[in-house]
Amino acid sequence: MNKLVSAPNVTVATIKSFCEDYNADFQSALVLHLQAVLLSWDPDLEVRVQSDGKRIPVVRNTEEQLLERCRDIIRHLSDVGPIGKKLRQMWLKVRDGFQSVGCHAQVLDR
């Protein structure tokens, strides 16, 4: 199950079909999938050089794309209440990732 929900291009429909075929809990699988999507987001940084030579990091895969994937998963959850604690735990990890991106941007700017 973990490999399936962590696969980069797996869809909610595929997870649902798997759960139906193997009598697995679809809601739990969705929570795991949501976690995998959030924690595996890897910003695609492009470094653009301005005319003055200053390098500017630009994130090509925006957080809007990430949010849309998360919204799609959440739409299929029958009860979002239990995922509150899980989301708070995940947010701490995601926030640390964003801070890491900021550190990379500072290094690129030098």
Backbone angles phi, psi at 46, to 5 degrees: -120, 135
Give the range among 20-29, 47-56, 66-75, 100-109 with minimum mean pLDDT.
Answer: 100-109
What integer pLDDT is reported at residue 39 of this predicted model?
A: 82
Q: Which residues contact 40 (CB under 8 A, 6 or more apart)?
A: 6, 8
What integer pLDDT is reported at residue 61 of this predicted model?
A: 73
pTM of the model: 0.68
d(CA 81, CA 59): 32
d(CA 77, CA 74): 5
pLDDT at position 109 over 60: no
d(CA 13, CA 11): 5
